[in-house]
């Protein structure tokens, strides 16, 4: 008999909930432009002030998703009412170093991250004496490291609790057995997080993904991320910024 083929690894982008209403959270340090992005996307006018934690409670709204195919169908059929696709957007309070241990708005902030399906991670790459930086200098790679480290720390604590809960359930339930890949999957997740690497960037088999979604459904670093660089208008127009190469390298390879 021919040996059974091993299951090919699947990218962790397969993580996520299947739902009609997609929710994206705007993530980043204080004073990087999160509330300004929220206002731009949702046509709102929430406060965007020059001091940390201007946003405390998350702001929620929605924005229509442009789609040329939808516009074409509406022009063709001219329906009496039209309902475009909408994206729900949440402006989350700024995160600071130590948030996983409760610094800043810590635990409240991280619970808001857990409630969304994906993240817009805003990073500051503009210089301005008028806009304070929580760490007193503009260093996008340092800021990216800070956010990722805090999310990994929170996930590491969460993974430990979920493993303990699963093992307690086995002891309490007669004839209940854990799948063979239970321990190896938890260990793989734990080693990634200890190295400050997000779960979404690793390769996983379908069985591993299924177990993670069942036993660790609230992993913050399994959520897909879109990185948005906030730069000056002049840099945007000339498509150059001294921080962009290092940001690109970090996004492609992760922290050192």
pLDDT tens per residue, range 26-42: 999 988 999 899 999 99
pTM of the model: 0.84
Identify the pLDDT of residue 173: 85
The domain 18-253: what is its CATH number? 1.10.150.300
Q: Which residues contact 194 (CB under 8 A, 6 or more apart)?
A: 152, 156
Lowest pLDDT segment from 6-15, 180-189, 209-218 = 6-15
The average pLDDT across 170-191 equals 92
pLDDT tens per residue, range 44-91: 887 555 444 444 678 899 999 999 999 999 999 999 999 999 999 999
């Amino acid at each position: 008999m021919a040996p059974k083929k091993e299951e090919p690894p699947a990218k962790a982008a397969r993580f996520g909930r299947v739902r009609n209403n997609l929710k994206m959270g705007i993530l980043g340090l204080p004073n990087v432009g999160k509330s300004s992005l929220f206002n731009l996307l949702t046509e709102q006018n929430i406060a965007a002030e020059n001091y940390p934690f201007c946003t405390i409670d998350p702001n929620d709204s929605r924005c229509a998703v442009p789609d040329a195919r939808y516009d074409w169908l509406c022009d063709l059929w001219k329906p009496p009412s039209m309902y475009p696709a909408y994206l729900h957007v949440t402006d989350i309070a700024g995160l600071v170093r130590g948030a996983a241990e409760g610094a800043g708005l810590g635990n409240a902030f991280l619970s808001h991250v857990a409630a969304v399906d994906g993240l817009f991670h805003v990073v500051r790459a503009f210089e301005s004496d008028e806009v304070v930086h929580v760490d007193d200098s503009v260093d996008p790679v340092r800021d990216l490291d800070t956010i990722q480290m805090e999310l990994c720390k929170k996930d590491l604590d969460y993974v430990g609790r979920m493993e303990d809960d699963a093992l307690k359930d086995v002891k309490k339930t007669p004839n209940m057995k854990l799948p063979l890949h239970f321990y190896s999957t938890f260990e793989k997740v734990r080693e990634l997080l200890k190295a400050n690497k997000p779960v979404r960037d690793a390769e996983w088999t379908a069985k591993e993904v299924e177990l993670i979604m069942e036993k660790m459904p609230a992993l913050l670093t399994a959520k897909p991320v879109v990185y948005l660089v906030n730069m000056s208008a002049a840099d945007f127009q000339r498509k150059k910024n001294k921080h962009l190469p290092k940001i690109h390298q970090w996004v492609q390879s992760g922290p050192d």
